Amino acid sequence: MPRKARARKAKPLTSQPEQLSLLDLIHEGRLGSEQTEALRGLMAAKPASTSWRGLSIMPPGSLLDQAVNLFERTTDFPLELPAFTVMHMLAAHLLDRGVQIEVAGTRLRPDLWTTLLAPSGAGKTKTASVLARIMPVRLFPETTSSARFIEELAVHNRGLWQQDEWGQFLRRIETQTYAEEMREYLLRAHDGKPLARRTAKGSIEVEEPALVILGTTVFETFTSIVSAESMLDGFMQRFGIVIGDADPARPPQRFPIYRTEEPGNLAPLQAAWQAIAALPLHPLYTVTPEGEAAYETGFTHLFEQHHAIPASFFRRVMWRAFKMAAVYHVLLGKADDRIDAEDVGWAMRVAALHLTDARRLLDGYNLSTLEAVIVKAETLQAKLGHRPSKRELIKGVRDIKNNTMAEFVLEVMTPLPGANDNTSPANDQAAA
């Protein structure tokens, strides 16, 4: 007669992959019944298809679709590179021609800012050079100092800034005196506020600064270059996050020569771009009531899925969707000035991708470890039956060692049902 299996006490999963892998945890029987059931659910929810995840953001037959297909056939590059390069080039095309988007009385420019993380040698420069042959948009030169930045902006305002080694650039503006003003310049440019600087030759003024920015950098080293403090501040939150992984279905040995630019490969893309370039552009695109409704529905749905993302991150990512919707409006070949539910729907898919990748990047800063502390604090709260004091948190949760940490935890933990909690941050749409 078989012996009755002994129930194993669940042990917490580690957030440090170098300590114990998931396989190790399973081998050692460290997963309790609830954890095992959750794991089964995750495995069942995993898509059976090995297709690239970005298929959901590509309208079939569009320039975006054709560009990604070309790079998929001829390179081993992460496909996020051509996809987001095309979208940012389209945004720069609109920005350079003075396009604005109006939603609920607020006007926005299509000035997308994105940090794209990919492996070293993933083809960032090659992708940019190939697509620049197809889409000749205004480019902003790579720059390193604050003085040079505003000089270039006076000449190349409303251009596309493609900056490689973006992580190193971010570190410079945080640590180097010659670049410390850059942060303020970029924040003012994001808000469309005038910029001015005195030089030995006189003064430089830029009345309505705006840029589309696509910063590319290595994913593996980003968390060691850009601090968690910087990652969580308002400046970094203005950048959408995209992570491009190497595709195991397209190993490097399959592509000894990149044949992307062979005769005939670029012709379909050039035809698609010419059709877009021929579209009449309007100075103002208005989001329709149906488009606003699609946004509100998507906002609620994605918030339920990504409630663990910091609220400020979430709101800023979602607000970018209106800028992306203008890009899709043109990408779909629409000649009118009404951004509809279809445009917003495609943009919301991009927002979902940004949220997923932002969460993955934040996990690299031990966000999961912090979440474990919050869970312990909420468990203590349920046991006490009331909102714990800082003293009770320090006494009851081992990882909370001082008043500062206790105060932070109280700000972010979920209040008891029906309790009055005045610590929740207000929803500030203007901050987005």
Ordered DSSP codes for 165-192 = SHHHHHHHHHH-GGGHHHHHHHHHHHTT
Flag whether 248 is in a domain: yes
Cα–Cα–Cα angle for 376, 422, 309, rounded to 5 degrees: 55
Flag whether 357 is in a domain: no
Flag whether 140 is in a domain: yes
Structure tokens at 289: 């009531």
Flag whether 339 is in a domain: no
- Alpha carbon separation from 250 to 60, 231, 246, 255 (Å, rounded): 22, 32, 8, 8
Residues 360, 361, 367, 368, Cα dihedral to 10° = 30
392 Cα distance to chain centroid: 37
* End-to-end C-alpha distance for the chain, whole angstroms: 65
Instruction: State the pLDDT at residue 351.
Output: 96
Instruction: State the pLDDT at residue 82.
Output: 98
pTM of the model: 0.79
Cα–Cα–Cα angle for 290, 291, 297, rounded to 5 degrees: 90
Residue 361 · residue 241 · CB < 8 Å: yes
Q: What does each of the 432 residues of the chain score in pLDDT, given as a tens digit?
A: 444 443 434 444 333 334 344 455 555 666 566 555 544 444 443 443 446 889 999 999 999 999 999 999 999 999 999 999 999 999 999 999 999 999 999 999 999 999 999 998 899 999 999 999 999 999 999 887 888 999 999 999 999 999 999 999 998 888 888 888 999 999 999 999 999 998 777 899 999 999 999 999 998 889 888 887 777 777 888 999 999 999 999 999 999 999 999 989 999 999 999 999 999 999 999 999 999 999 999 999 999 888 777 787 889 999 999 999 999 999 999 999 999 999 999 999 999 999 999 888 888 877 677 778 888 998 999 999 999 999 999 999 988 988 888 888 888 787 776 555 443 333 333 334
Residues 383 and 255 in one domain: no
Question: Which of these three, 262, 289, 316, is where a domain ends?
Answer: 289
Structure tokens at 224: 């060691």
Residues 213 and 99 in one domain: yes
Flag whether 312 is in a domain: no
Flag whether 72 is in a domain: yes
Q: Which residues constitute the domain of residue 403?
A: 367-431
Report the CATH number that the domain containing residue 209 is assigned in CATH.
Answer: 3.40.50.300
Residues 240-276 have pLDDT tens digits of: 999 999 999 999 999 999 999 998 999 999 999 999 9
129-132 long-range CB contacts below 8 Å, 24 or more apart?
Answer: 130/260, 130/261, 130/266, 131/67, 131/82, 131/85, 131/86, 131/89, 132/89
Flag whether 280 is in a domain: yes
Residues 395 and 277 in one domain: no
Residues 274 and 409 in one domain: no
Residue 52 · residue 247 · CB < 8 Å: yes
* Domain count for the chain: 2
Flag whether 417 is in a domain: yes
